[in-house]
């Protein structure tokens, strides 16, 4: 294994890179994509597949051992198959976050190359509500793909963003899925990004989720969190699967953060909430070495939530990007 060299000023080694392949998406989830849309990136400003592969290699040489492909919707990226085949050669753990619509096209490939860890976003088990949240009607296809993925032995995690008045009544239904399916449900606290009309009164906190789980199922066991975990993890006694809570708002997991992000237009972000970005693609295209740039950039990483340690600050998050163009 390559020595971890991307170490921030708090001594945290960064070994986990999340790459956004595109800011395009076949859904319009209201908490992610602003109602008025986003200004889409111009094609020439987006990293080509060869650039993604070469820049990834630099990160891997600096100690990155895990790459998660995200977006936008990563599976709408043209020649996705070629990209993952090339990234697999870097000898890393490759993971994917997707809305699940196109998974059926790729399961055979994923089996072949050993990509096993797939996070699928699914915010409601109700077809009509799903259409309300995503503004599109792909529910049946997504459900079928999730079911097939579980049957084929993929490690499927369901990402569920909870929003009051929308889907918070489904907490117990999602946890019920873990009864006899080997699936992990990750509840995510609603987070603020540019244009998503965030207001914490719409959010559902870790405490509320846990209380609801205990009310519905009685005994809930607390599991040991793996190193660098971004969630507190639980299991209802007797259930096959588990659930976790990503409590970025009420109880952020920053102390052990090992994550860096690369946007589709090749900007490095030290944190999901970072306003500042470092252009990696520009210097790469100019033939400059990007190693030192990456190492220098991580030195500017703040300890927690890009400095929003105590509370979310609208001046800051409204100057961030929308989630769809960061890559969650």
Q: Which is nearer to ligand SF4, 93 or 304 (CB)?
A: 304
| Residue listed under structure tokens 């109602």 | 35
Q: Give CA–CA dist 280/118, Å, rounded.
A: 27
Across the beta sheet with 93-98, the strand order is 220-222, 232-236, 242-246, 184-189, 155-162, 117-121, 93-98, 66-70, 16-20, 259-262, 267-269, 278-279
- Which residues of the chain form beta strands (DSSP E)? 16-20, 66-70, 93-98, 117-121, 155-162, 184-189, 220-222, 232-236, 242-246, 259-262, 267-269, 278-279
Q: Pick from 19, 67, 84, 191: which binds ligand SAM (CB under 6 A)?
A: 191
Q: What's the sign of the alpha-carbon dihedral 315, 21, 144, 229? A: negative
Site membership for ligand SAM, residue 244 (CB under 6 A): no
* Residue 271, phi then psi, degrees to nearest 5: -150, 150
Q: Which of 20, 22, 119, 121: binder of ligand SF4 (CB under 6 A)?
A: 121
Of these partners, ligand SAM, ligand SF4, none, which one is at the site of residue 28 (CB under 5 to 8 Å by kind)?
ligand SF4
Q: Which does 56 bind (CB under 5 to 8 A by kind): ligand SAM, ligand SF4, none?
A: none
Pair of tokens at residue 23: 């800011």
Residues in the chain: 328
Which of ligand SAM, ligand SF4, none does residue 252 bind to, with CB < 5 to 8 Å depending on kind? ligand SF4
Out of 124, 196, 247, 258, name the contact with ligand SAM by CB under 6 A: 196
Determine which helix (DSSP H) or strand (DSSP E) holds 225, and give its type and residue range. Answer: none
Residue position matching structure tokens 């170490």? 7
Helices marked H in 203-275 = 206-217
Residues 111-130 that bind ligand SAM (CB under 6 A): 121
Tokens of 317: 């998050």
Token pair for 229: 């975990």
Of 6, 19, 21, 33, the residue at the interface with ligand SF4 (CB under 6 A) is 33
Instruction: Identify the residue among 38, 183, 272, 326 touching ligand SF4 (CB under 6 A).
Output: 272
Residue 73, interface with ligand SAM (CB under 6 A)? Answer: yes
- Which of 19, 27, 47, 92 touches ligand SF4 by CB under 6 A? 27
Residue 166 in the binding site for ligand SAM (CB under 6 A) = no
In the DSSP assignment, the letter for residue 7 is: B
Interface segment toward ligand SAM; rule CB under 6 A; list 9-17, 34-42, 177-185, 189-197: 189-197
- Binding-site size for ligand SF4 (CB under 6 A) equals 23
Site string for ligand SF4, 296-315 (x = CB under 6 A): --------xx----------
324 sits near ligand SAM (criterion: CB under 6 A): yes
> Strand 278-279 and strand 267-269: pairing?
antiparallel
Does 32 help bind ligand SF4 (rule: CB under 6 A)? yes
- Separation CA 18–CA 327 (nearest Å): 7
Tell me whether residue 73 or residue 206 sits nearer to ligand SAM (CB atom): 73
Distance of CA 10 to the CA centre of its chain: 23
One character per residue 57-96, x = contact with ligand SF4 (rule: CB under 6 A):
--------------xxx-----------------------
Chain residues that interact with ligand SF4, rule: CB under 6 A:
25, 27-29, 32-33, 71-73, 99, 121, 248, 252-254, 257, 259, 271-273, 304-305, 324
Tell me which residues touch ligand SAM (CB under 6 A): 25, 31-32, 70-71, 73, 97-99, 121, 159, 161, 188, 190-191, 193, 196, 323-324, 328
């Amino acid at each position: 294994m390559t020595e971890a060299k991307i170490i921030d000023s708090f001594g945290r080694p960064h070994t986990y890179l999340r790459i956004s392949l595109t800011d395009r998406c076949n859904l319009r989830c209201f908490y992610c994509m602003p109602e008025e849309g986003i200004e889409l990136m111009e094609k020439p400003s987006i990293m080509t597949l060869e650039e993604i592969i070469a820049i990834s290699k630099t990160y891997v040489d600096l100690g990155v051992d895990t790459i998660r492909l995200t977006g936008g919707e990563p599976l709408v990226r043209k020649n996705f198959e070629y990209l993952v085949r090339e990234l697999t050669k870097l000898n890393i753990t490759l993971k994917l976050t997707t809305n699940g619509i196109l998974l059926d096209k790729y399961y055979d490939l994923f089996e072949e190359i050993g990509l096993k860890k797939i996070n699928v976003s699914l915010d409601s088990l109700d077809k009509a509500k799903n259409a309300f949240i995503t503004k599109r009607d792909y529910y049946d296809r997504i459900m079928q793909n999730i079911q097939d993925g579980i049957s084929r032995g993929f490690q499927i995690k369901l990402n569920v963003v909870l929003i009051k008045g929308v889907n918070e009544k489904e907490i117990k239904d999602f946890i019920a899925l873990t009864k006899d399916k080997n699936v992990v449900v990750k509840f995510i606290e609603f987070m603020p990004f540019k244009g998503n009309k965030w207001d914490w009164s719409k959010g559902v906190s870790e405490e509320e989720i846990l209380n609801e789980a205990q009310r519905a199922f009685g005994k809930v066991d607390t599991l040991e969190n793996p190193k660098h975990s971004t969630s507190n993890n639980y299991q209802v006694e007797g259930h096959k699967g588990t659930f976790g809570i990503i409590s970025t708002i009420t109880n952020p997991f920053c102390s052990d953060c090992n994550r860096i992000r690369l946007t589709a237009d090749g900007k490095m972000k030290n944190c999901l909430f970072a306003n500042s970005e470092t252009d990696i693609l520009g210097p790469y295209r100019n033939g400059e070495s990007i190693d030192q740039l990456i190492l220098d950039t991580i030195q500017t990483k703040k300890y927690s939530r890009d400095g929003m340690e105590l509370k979310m600050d609208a001046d800051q998050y409204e100057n961030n990007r929308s989630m769809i163009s960061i890559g969650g």
